[in-house]
Amino acid sequence: MTRSSLERQILGLDDSALLARGTQLLQPAVWAALTQLATAAAEHGFDLKVASAYRSYERQLKIWNDKLCGERPVVDDAGQEVDMAAMSTQDCIACVLRFSAMPGASRHHWGTDLDVFDAAAVAPDYKLQLSTAEVAANGPFGPMHEWLDQRIAQGDSFGFYRPYDEDRGGVAPERWHLSFAPLAAGYENQINPDLLRAAWSDAALGEISGKQTLNQLLDSLFERFVAKVAAAPEAALEYLPPT
């Protein structure tokens, strides 16, 4: 199946434009802005590190299939594991989408989005969970995220903002997830249900669990779990990274 370069980037099928630092991949402009953000954080005693950055379609498909097939735990908003075997496919899909994106629809595909934590707040052998408790006011990463909240509100976050800042009835709030607005906005405007349907029908990309139900409900699922995110602040959108 022929796809444009942009479509391949949107779907997480092309990482050729991304830059590696250690095991993480991001677009070069995102790394440049992130360096500035980390430097500012360090001045306040925080060690802002990347927990997760680019994620390929293949990797997202593996996560999705494992959760739908019961090979990876799925939890509810209270952090309790749900019994997927006792639920309909439609309800299972909604449970998974609360915390994990459909393959091809993850913002992590774009090289513009990342999950962060404060390495200075925990021991080197700390097992990172990226949980609500960790980023709460009394959690180990709460102080750094309160500082980030202030920077974003002041328009001084070097282009980063939180797309999942609050519960909009779709994806659960993810305080650890940052998006680089100047680049992410372009992908956000181009992703659409037809692009996802075409990817899922491509046998070369692998079989997706729950495909029939996904295709039937995709328009409403897309609106609820992909499109319904925070609008990027103007200051973040207008940020120009260093050259």
pTM of the full structure: 0.96
What local confidence, expressed as pLDDT, does residue 79 receive? Answer: 85
Rounded to whole angstroms, what are the CA distances from 228 to 34, 151, 166, 231?
25, 23, 11, 9
Q: Is the pLDDT of residue 173 over 80?
A: yes
What local confidence, expressed as pLDDT, does residue 1 receive? Answer: 76
What local confidence, expressed as pLDDT, does residue 242 receive? Answer: 73
Going by C-beta distance under 8 Å and a sequence separation of 6 or more, which residues neighbour residue 65? 71, 207, 208, 209
What local confidence, expressed as pLDDT, does residue 141 receive? Answer: 98
Q: Is residue 243 part of a domain?
A: no
Give the CATH number for residue 113: 3.30.1380.10
For 146, the token pair is 């309160």
Q: DSSP strand E in the chain: where? A: 19-21, 24-26, 48-52, 113-118, 160-161, 177-180
What is the percentage of the chain residues whose pLDDT exceeds 70?
100
Q: Tens digit of pLDDT for each residue in 24-56?
A: 999 999 999 999 999 999 999 999 999 999 999
**What pLDDT band is residue 20 in, cutting at 50, 70 and 90?**
very high
What local confidence, expressed as pLDDT, does residue 241 receive? Answer: 78
Average of pLDDT values for 132-144? 97
User: What distance, in Å, lies between the first and last C-alpha atoms of the chain?
Assistant: 36
Average of pLDDT values for 148-176? 97
Residue-range definition of the domain harbouring residue 221: 5-237
53 neighbors 111 (Cβ within 8 angstroms):
yes
What local confidence, expressed as pLDDT, does residue 8 receive? Answer: 98
Q: Is residue 101 part of a domain?
A: yes
Give the C-alpha separation, 168 to 78, whole Å: 17
Q: Tens digit of pLDDT for each residue in 69-91?
A: 999 999 998 889 999 999 999 99
Q: How many domains does the chain have?
A: 1
Q: Is residue 49 part of a domain?
A: yes
Question: Three-class SS string for 98-115?
Answer: CCCCCCCCCHHHHCCEEE
Rounded to whole angstroms, what are the CA distances from 173 to 73, 133, 146, 169, 220?
19, 12, 15, 10, 19
